[in-house]
């Protein structure tokens, strides 16, 4: 892949324990490589089953030269298809989200069923078989209601992650949730910096007053097993956490910490809520009166799932919040946040959107500013890769995932 020789060079300069070389964060070449090569080799988070709740509901996943339609079939199955007509290739669907009884191409009206079969094509020559011209499927995995897609014909195995995530998330019944509200923020920062910021809470104490009302920073990068955590926080917290984990184990909610095993793709953690909170809200009280999880013993904790390289999710007894990240340009990243509540919850009666979204809206604004500052400083001549703190181990996990995937893609391309 000679067109990416600069990327190869920068990857070669990467040092363990340090941030990446400048070019990998700010250059057009790295952005092209990331979106056209690296990110196409891995499983990417797209949406939840609640985003395509009913048969005919669709959701577009778009990144660089990729456009995929995720659609719920009449049989309830969620499938993914490349958004290009089997006739002369027109883009089938331009609406980001919506609902339709079938998929019709706007160009010459070839019409497809929700499971991708070609139903109608006018005036085709004799011998034309509709069965040979269905939509091209993309790989999709539904893991406990979280939808992941992979744009490679040879996707990495996801079985271990499925086992770790699906069972733990199942008690939150995403099939019976609806999207209460969805926010898009375009951050003026490279996608890897938005991810890096998400993978540490070294910045939390000073920057996230709303978040810290219901979430302790331990577990979000601090107080990880093996950390030389400060005695002030560490020892007492470890004891407290062990007692909580024993109670969760008893309630069938906990077995062990899943921390980027094997291929380093996923992390699943149950964490106690702070200050007597029962949900990730400003006042610590549930934001929706209709619970999404009725499993006993979940009231004072939340479950968090992180996947490489573009998502994180938090599940409380009354709502779930999911975050997906899509690179738009070398210095622009789309962060989409979706808040899910039970399908029976009524807006204005059982929940108020502003209250539901308050903690993460504030936190997203703060994080967005931090990622933008990070990008702006890295883009200057004075930037040199800097060392990670102990609490930034998960940032390095992400960086390693990126570097290893990128090197392997370039290696294979050269072979
Ligand atoms: Fe779609 Fe012709 S390109 S019907
Ligand atoms: Fe943050």
Least confident of 81-90, 267-276, 314-323: 267-276
Helix (H) or strand (E) holding 67: strand 66-72
Instruction: Evaluate: CB of 110 within 6 angstroms of ligand 1.
Output: yes
Structurally, the chain folds into a number of domains equal to: 2
Residue in 101, 138, 133 with CA at minimum distance from that of residue 120: 133
**Total Cβ atoms within 10 A of residue 306:** 24
Q: Are 288 and 177 in contact (CB under 8 A)?
A: no
Helix, coil or strand: residue 73: coil
- Rounded to whole angstroms, the Cα distance separating 224 from 229 reads 8
- Rounded to whole angstroms, the Cα distance separating 67 from 62 reads 4
- Whole-Å CA distances, 310 to 277, 361, 401: 28, 18, 12
> 107 CA distance to ligand 1 centroid (A)?
5
**pLDDT tens digit sequence for 230-250:** 444 556 777 888 888 898 998
What's the whole-model pTM score? 0.94
List phi, psi (to 5°) of 248: -65, -35
Same domain, yes or no: 171 and 212 = yes
Same domain, yes or no: 171 and 136 = no
Q: Are strands 258-259 and 177-187 parallel, antiparallel or unpaired?
A: unpaired
Quick one: pLDDT band at residue 336, thresholds 50, 70, 90? very high
Q: Are strands 111-112 and 57-63 parallel, antiparallel or unpaired?
A: unpaired
Average pLDDT in the 324-351 region? Answer: 98
Residue in 330, 382, 19, 11 with CA at minimum distance from that of residue 197: 19
Instruction: Evaluate: CB of 124 within 6 angstroms of ligand 1.
Output: no
Query: Which pLDDT belongs to residue 414?
Result: 45
Same domain, yes or no: 251 and 301 = yes
Query: Which pLDDT belongs to residue 227?
Result: 45
Least confident of 38-47, 240-249, 289-298, 368-377: 240-249
pLDDT > 80? residue 228: no
352, part of any domain = yes
20, part of any domain = no
**pLDDT tens digit sequence for 165-206:** 999 999 999 999 999 999 999 999 999 999 999 999 999 989
Task: Please indicate whether residue 169 or residue 223 has the higher confidence score (pLDDT).
Answer: 169
Same domain, yes or no: 136 and 176 = no
Same domain, yes or no: 246 and 135 = no
- Rounded to whole angstroms, the Cα distance separating 172 from 164 reads 15
Residue in 52, 93, 85, 45 with CA at minimum distance from that of residue 70: 52
- Whole-Å CA distances, 206 to 47, 209, 320: 31, 7, 25
Same domain, yes or no: 79 and 183 = no
Same domain, yes or no: 127 and 218 = no
**pLDDT tens digit sequence for 367-415:** 999 999 999 999 999 999 999 999 999 999 999 999 999 999 998 754 4
Average pLDDT in the 104-120 region? Answer: 98
Query: Which pLDDT belongs to residue 220?
Result: 67
Residue that is written with structure tokens 């291929």 in the block: 263
- Whole-Å CA distances, 70 to 21, 36, 116, 149: 36, 20, 11, 9
Structure tokens belonging to residue 340: 């899910």
Quick one: pLDDT band at residue 226, thresholds 50, 70, 90? very low
Instruction: Evaluate: CB of 88 within 6 angstroms of ligand 1.
Output: yes
Instruction: Evaluate: CB of 105 within 6 angstroms of ligand 1.
Output: yes
> 87 CA distance to ligand 1 centroid (A)?
5
Instruction: Evaluate: CB of 112 within 6 angstroms of ligand 1.
Output: no
Q: Considering every ligand atom shown, identify the ligand nearest to the alpha carbon of residue 200 and give its number.
A: 2
Query: Which pLDDT belongs to residue 216?
Result: 74
List phi, psi (to 5°) of 179: -80, 115
Quick one: pLDDT band at residue 229, thresholds 50, 70, 90? very low
**Counting atoms of ligand 1 from 1, which one is nearest the CA of 85?**
1
For 213, the domain range is 158-393
Structure tokens belonging to residue 223: 């107080």
Residue in 125, 15, 7 with CA at minimum distance from that of residue 388: 15
Q: Are 185 and 364 in contact (CB under 8 A)?
A: yes
Query: Which pLDDT belongs to residue 146?
Result: 98
Residue 87 sits in a domain whose CATH number is 2.102.10.10
pLDDT > 90? residue 41: yes
**Total Cβ atoms within 10 A of residue 73:** 15
215, part of any domain = yes
Q: State the average pLDDT for the chain.
A: 93
> 124 CA distance to ligand 1 centroid (A)?
12
Q: Which among 83, 85, 86 is the best mutation to test ligand 1's pocket, defined by most ligand atoms within 8 Å of the CB?
A: 85
Query: Which pLDDT belongs to residue 345?
Result: 98
Instruction: Evaluate: CB of 107 within 6 angstroms of ligand 1.
Output: yes
> 88 CA distance to ligand 1 centroid (A)?
5
What percentage of the chain reaches a pLDDT higher than 70? Answer: 94
**Counting atoms of ligand 1 from 1, which one is nearest the CA of 105?**
1
pLDDT > 50? residue 278: yes
Return the HEC string of 350-412: CECHHHHHHHHHHHHHHHHHHHHHHHHHHCCCCCCCCECCHHHHHHHHHHHHHHHHHHHHHHH
149, part of any domain = no
Q: Which among 86, 90, 116 is the best mutation to test ligand 1's pocket, defined by most ligand atoms within 8 Å of the CB?
A: 90
Q: Whose CA is nearest to atom 3 of ligand 1?
A: 88
> 208 CA distance to ligand 2 centroid (A)?
7
pLDDT > 70? residue 95: yes
Query: Which pLDDT belongs to residue 231?
Result: 42
Same domain, yes or no: 206 and 275 = yes
Query: Which pLDDT belongs to residue 219?
Result: 61
- Rounded to whole angstroms, the Cα distance separating 304 from 311 reads 11
Same domain, yes or no: 136 and 248 = no
Task: Please indicate whether residue 354 or residue 244 has the higher confidence score (pLDDT).
Answer: 354
Q: Which among 81, 84, 87 is the best mutation to test ligand 1's pocket, defined by most ligand atoms within 8 Å of the CB?
A: 87
Instruction: Evaluate: CB of 85 within 6 angstroms of ligand 1.
Output: yes
């Amino acid at each position: 892949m000679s067109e990416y020789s600069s990327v190869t060079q920068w990857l070669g300069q990467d040092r363990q324990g340090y941030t990446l070389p400048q070019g990998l964060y700010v250059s057009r070449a790295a952005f092209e490589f990331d979106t056209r090569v690296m990110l196409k080799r891995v499983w990417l988070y797209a949406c939840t089953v609640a985003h395509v709740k009913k048969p005919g509901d669709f959701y577009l996943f778009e990144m660089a030269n990729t456009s995929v339609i995720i659609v719920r079939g009449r049989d309830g199955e969620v499938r993914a298809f490349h958004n290009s007509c089997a006739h002369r290739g027109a883009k089938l669907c331009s609406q980001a989200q919506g609902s339709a009884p079938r998929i019709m191409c706007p160009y010459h009206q070839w019409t497809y069923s929700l499971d991708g079969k070609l139903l109608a094509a006018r005036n085709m020559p004799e011998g034309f078989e509709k069965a040979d011209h269905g939509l091209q499927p993309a790989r999709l995995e539904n893991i406990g209601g979280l939808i992941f897609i992979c744009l490679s014909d040879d996707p990495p195995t996801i079985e271990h992650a499925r086992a770790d995530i699906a069972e733990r998330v199942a008690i939150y019944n995403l099939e019976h949730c609806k999207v209460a509200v969805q926010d898009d923020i375009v951050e003026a920062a490279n996608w890897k910096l938005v991810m890096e910021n998400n993978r540490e809470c070294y910045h939390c104490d000073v920057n996230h007053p709303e978040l810290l009302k219901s979430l302790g920073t331990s577990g979000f990068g601090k107080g990880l097993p093996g950390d030389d955590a400060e005695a002030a926080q560490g020892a007492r917290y470890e004891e407290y956490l062990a007692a909580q984990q024993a109670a969760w184990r008893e309630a069938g909610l906990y077995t062990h910490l899943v921390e980027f095993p094997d291929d380093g793709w996923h992390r699943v953690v149950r964490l106690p809520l702070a200050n007597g909170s029962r949900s990730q809200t400003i006042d610590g009280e549930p934001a929706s009166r209709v619970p999404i999880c009725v499993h006993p013993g979940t009231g004072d904790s939340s479950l968090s799932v992180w996947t490489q390289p573009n998502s994180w999710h938090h599940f409380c007894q009354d709502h779930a919040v999911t975050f997906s990240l899509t690179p738009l340009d070398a210095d622009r990243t789309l962060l989409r946040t979706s808040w899910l509540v039970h399908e029976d919850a009524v807006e204005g009666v059982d929940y108020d959107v502003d209250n539901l979204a308050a903690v993460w809206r504030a936190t997203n604004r703060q994080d967005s500013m931090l990622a933008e500052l990070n990008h702006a400083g890295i883009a200057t001549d004075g930037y040199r890769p800097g060392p990670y703190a102990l609490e930034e181990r998960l940032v390095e996990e992400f960086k390693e995932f990126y570097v290893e995937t990128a090197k392997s893609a370039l290696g294979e391309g050269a072979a």
